[in-house]
Structures are given as structure tokens and as C-alpha cells.
Amino acid sequence: VLVRMIREPARTGQVSLDGHDAKPSLRGALRYVTKRRLAYATLALGMATSPLIGYSWLWLPTVFERTFGVATTQFAFIYGVILLIGGPAGAILGGKISEYLYRRGHPDANYITTRGALWLMVVLSTAIPLSPSPIVALVLLFPATMVGAATTATGAAAAVFAAPGQYRAQITSFYVLTISLIGLGVGPPLVGWLNDNIFTSDDGVRFSVAFVSGVVCSLLVALMFFGRKAYHDVIIDLEQATNER
């Protein structure tokens, strides 16, 4: 009921592309994304790293308890403080870096920033469970949280910036659905499976979490190297179409 009371703002940034009218439709959005599948697929699969690591972090309380002897209540409080500070700081920092790169002549600034932050997230998230002490792990957890928040902000911006106004909502929905299904559907279950079948010792969960970040997520982020040019071309085409209106 409340949603129906919200007045939809006027749509902006609608452009005619591929010889089709600038009218919003699900079929048009699917056609648009399919034609530019390399750009969108590499962005979505690469960005799936962020929720994949994030959901695998649901095992971090277990890692800290079994590996370092830190009680779950202690870890929860410390991590809450880290999230409270590092989350907003990372999101703001990611946006600032993207703005800087865009002003420096990189139309695909959001893509570049997202890819760089994801690599940092992979490295830090792999190192956290393998740390020699809880202090080192917690110190690494702060920047890992920051870059994770940065990827969330710039990744979403990258998806929005690559979509014409009439398809922006649909394409954003595709993007969020893809990364959420991979993150939630693969992250926690994969860690659990590795615990039961590969790393079966009491502290084996640390290696399971490290494997997801260091191996699985590295492969996903690597895909983004193949999609940057395609994404760059999408942005250029949109800017040209907008300027020709």
C-alpha cells in the first residue's frame, strides 16, 4: 500500500539505441543486456565476489573461536564496531576514487575502482583466516570491510551508469539478483562442504574460508579483465547517444 502511494519521478536519460524506441520494457532491457553481454556478465560475475566473501564471513565467528580462542560475543562486538566505522568510510572512499578517475578521463571509472577494490578484498579476506594471531586478523578485517563496502557502492554505480534511463531499473534488478544468488547460494554452503569433506580438522574452517576467497573469488575477479573494454564501449555509446539527443 505504501509503495503505491509513492509518486514515480520523471524518467531521465532515456535514449534510443539499437534502432529501438526509448520506451521502458522488460523485453527491451533483455535485448539491450544480451547484445552487451560481455560487459554485463563480467561485471556481475566479478562483483559476485563481494557478497560471496561477505556471506562466507558468516563463518568468521567460528574461525576466531576455533583458531584463536576468541569468544563469539567478543568477536561480534569488535566486528560491529569495525562495520560501523569501516562500512560508511569505505563506501564514501570508493565513490571519491571513482569521481577522481572519471575527472581524469576514465569513463569506466566505476568499473576500474570496483575491480581494484575487489582484488584488495580477495587478498585481505584470504589473509584474515590464515593470520598468525587474532590481533593481526582483526587489523586486516578493518580494511577488508572498507574495500568490501567500496565494491558494493561502485559496483552498483557501474551497473547503473551502463544502463540507459528506460532500462535502468530492470538492469539493476538483474545485477542485484545475479550477485545475490551467487553470494548467498554458493558462499556459506561451499565453506560448509569444504569443512565436511576437505578441511576436516577442528580449525579447518579457516582454510575453507581462505579457499573461497583466495581461489574461487580470484577466478571471478579475473573475469573482469576480459570485460573492461566492452564495458568502456558501452559507456561511450551511452554518452554519445545522450549528447545527440
Alpha-carbon span 106 to 108, nearest angstrom: 5
159 pLDDT higher than 70: yes
Cell of 177: 539478483
3-class secondary structure, 191: helix
At residue 55, does pLDDT exceed 80?
yes
Please report the pLDDT score of residue 102 as a whole number: 93
pLDDT at 19 over 60: no
The pTM is what? 0.85
Residue 25 pLDDT > 90: no
> For residue 76, what is its C-alpha cell?
561480534
**Maximum distance among all Cα pairs of the chain, rounded to whole angstroms:** 63
Spatial distance between the Cα atoms of 43 and 153, rounded to a whole number of angstroms: 13
DSSP 201: S
How many of the other CB atoms lie within 10 Å of CB of 190?
18
Model confidence at 104, pLDDT cuts 50, 70, 90, reads very high
Region 27-53: mean pLDDT is: 89
C-beta of residue 38 within 8 angstroms of C-beta of residue 230 = yes
Average pLDDT, the chain: 88
Confidence of residue 22 (pLDDT cuts 50, 70, 90): low
Query: How much is the pLDDT for 174?
Result: 87
Q: What is the pLDDT of residues 182-231, one digit of tens each?
A: 888 888 889 889 989 999 888 899 999 999 999 999 999 999 999 999 99
